[in-house]
Amino acid sequence: MNYNKKSVRDVELKGKKVLCRCDFNVPVKEGVITSDVRITAALPVLRYMLEQGAAVIACSHLGKPKGEVKPALSMKIVAKRLGELLGKPVKIAESLDPVSDEALALAKSLQPGEIMLLENLRFDKGEEKNDPTFAKKLADMADLYVSDAFGTVHRAHASTAGVADYLPAVCGFLIEKELGTMGKALADPARPFVAILGGAKVSDKLNVINNLLEKVDTLIIGGGMAYTFLAAKGYGVGKSLLDSEKIDYCKDMMKKAEQKGVKLLLPVDTVVAKSFPDPIDAPIDVKTVASDAICDECMGLDIGEKTRELFADAAKTAKTVVWNGPMGVFENPTLANGTVAVAQALADSDAITIVGGGDSAAACEQLGFADKITHISTGGGASLEFLEGKELPGIACLLDK
């Protein structure tokens, strides 16, 4: 995977029509946007293009309409909020078809310094199928394509990859930062390089573990996935989450770490309870036991205090740290201490710190550590596939520098 891609800074924008794929998949409740973080994140590149004299045709999906027109998932609410944030009107067609004649005419009449937003791309079945006809209709509106929705680049959709068959394609500021920070961390990291993986299942991160063992100096495994590794060491894990079919895989990974000289850290103590909290944030009775002393009727739900110190010490001595996945059931205050400890260790570190999307990113935001992290990825699934070393279709299609 070549991470050295042309960005919007490398091309002439004046007088050009630019199709810009944004991530405006914002949470909406009862017709109200409950968080505009994703819209705010797109403002720098949109302002830059408008100031450079481009006419901008922004586009995105919202929710999962699965190729059906669902008025509740219309982008009109986003166009209104985007206009408020930009301080200028954002045009949008009345029609709910993203490539209607009305939308095409609006794009054609758009002047330099003006911006419009297309309707929800996923209202058309052609978007998720990467249908060339739909991709060509999108491309016909513009002279240039700018990709800036990192959360979608692992999908080969019409608006993320297909349009690049018809238009010169470059990245926006958000993807430029993802490639510059995460790409460099994987290709040429400052060492020691430490990766921290958590989350529920080993099966979700099989290829990530395998790929990172080729690159890191220390690999830390926490969260639900740690119990399959502990089982692979011959420990009883009680009723803890267990991928029983992946025990041999975990043995292989431990052997690979040994052969590569990679330090593999697993929890040495565990916070256990007799049952999973129901509801998830309900009060719960817990105790901390050694990781080789989990009783048959107990389940591990967070890393213990000694493990928190062990993991934090490894993070503090690193020059590069990548973290993806919580250390326990962090939605419950009693079971959040492990995740908090890792977030705190990254915030206190002088290292280049990179947090993958999803729960780890949410934890850093909630705890107020976001401004102390070098880079928080804007894409959960995309950042995982990045860590796997996979070629991401929405990145591969961009012009190389």
The catalytic residues are: 38, 201, 358, 381
* Distances from the Cα of 42 to the Cα of 33, 173, 207, angstroms: 16, 8, 31
Q: First and final CA of the chain: distance in angstroms? A: 13
Contact 20, 39 (CB under 8 A): no
Evaluated on CA atoms 266, 348, 355, 78, the torsion sign reads positive
- What's the token pair of residue 55? 């006419």
- What's the token pair of residue 327? 């250390």
Distance CA 160, CA 392 (A): 10
Q: H or E segment at 18? A: strand 17-21
* Distances from the Cα of 224 to the Cα of 212, 231, 310, angstroms: 19, 12, 18
Q: Exposed, middle or buried, 105 (CB in 10 Å: 0-12/13-18/19+)?
A: exposed
- What's the token pair of residue 31? 């017709």
Strand order in the sheet with 320-324: 263-265, 218-221, 193-197, 320-324, 352-355, 375-376
Q: Please enumerate in sequence order all residues whose Cβ is within 8 A of that of 252, keeping only pairs 6 or more positions apart, or say none.
A: none
State phi, psi for 342 to the nearest 5 degrees: -70, -45
Kindly report the CA angle at 21 between 353 and 111, in degrees rounded to 5?
130
Q: What is the DSSP annotation of 296-334? A: TT-EEEEE-HHHHHHHHHHHHT-SEEEEES-SS-TTSGG
Q: In terms of DSSP bridges, do strands 287-290 and 17-21 run parallel, antiparallel, or are they unpaired?
A: unpaired
State phi, psi for 320 to the nearest 5 degrees: -135, 130
